[in-house]
Chain A
Amino acid sequence: GQQVMQIPQYQHVQEGEDFTTYCNSSTTLSNIQWYKQRPGGHPVFLIQLVKSGEVKKQKRLTFQFGEAKKNSSLHITATQTTDVGTYFCAGHAGNMLTFGGGTRLMVKP
């Protein structure tokens, strides 16, 4: 079945440093979604990428979808303490949405 892998599993950064998480799928995806989960909360949708090579920005967050539609990345510029949480990618293949294991971001003030 489809597998979605995310690295790293954990990342500690100093406030102001950049952060990147990478997502790789074993199969070609029709689209990829990114979610953020704050500690003790539920996943909240951030963005969806559909087109091969697509790049989208949300303020300090930059999302990329690979040319082969099998990988994606999320980059945060100049992290803030409000960025703390776990970031998940999720890929669609047919009707199933498969989540990566998530990257837990911790930010030291």
Chain B
Amino acid sequence: NAGVTQTPKFQVLKTGQSMTLQCAQDMNHEYMSWYRQDPGMGLRLIHYSVGAGITDQGEVPNGYNVSRSTTEDFPLRLLSAAPSQTSVYFCASSYIGQNTDTQYFGPGTRLTVL
């Protein structure tokens, strides 16, 4: 049981480049989400999904796209990277339900945009 995995662990991009951050979970969780963490800003929700084929925007969705074609995978796409997207990105997953929605976080991807 690998839990939540994220790739890559580190990435450096140039302004304007695009890339996809990968996230996968093997716990059959319905709920998956992406957060970014900036110093002093806590965790801000980018996008989330309550099941395959269903996605929704969080607090800070601009500049990011997601899709959820399977229960296991929830990739995050940066369309045209900007320096303001330099951050640590965490993927998380959970069951849906008031007493079962503990979030399991992946190890994170540290992204630098030059």
Q: Which residues of A contact B (CB under 8 A)?
A: 1, 6, 9, 30-31, 33, 35, 41-45, 48, 50, 88, 90, 92, 95-102
What is the size, in residues, of chain B's interface with A at 8 Å between Cβ atoms? 27
The CA of A88 and the CA of B106, in the complex, are separated in Å by: 16
Question: What residues of chain A lie closer than 8 Å to B35, measured between beta carbons?
Answer: 99
Are B43 and A43 closer than 8 Å at their CB atoms? yes
Cross-chain pairs A/B with CB under 8 angstroms, 10 sampled: A1-B59, A42-B90, A42-B108, A43-B43, A43-B92, A44-B105, A95-B31, A96-B48, A97-B103, A101-B40
Are A48 and B48 closer than 8 Å at their CB atoms? no
Q: Which residues of B contact A (CB under 8 A)?
A: 31, 33, 35, 40-45, 48, 50, 56, 58-59, 90, 92, 96, 98-99, 101-108
Question: What residues of chain A lie closer than 8 Å to B106, measured between beta carbons?
Answer: 42
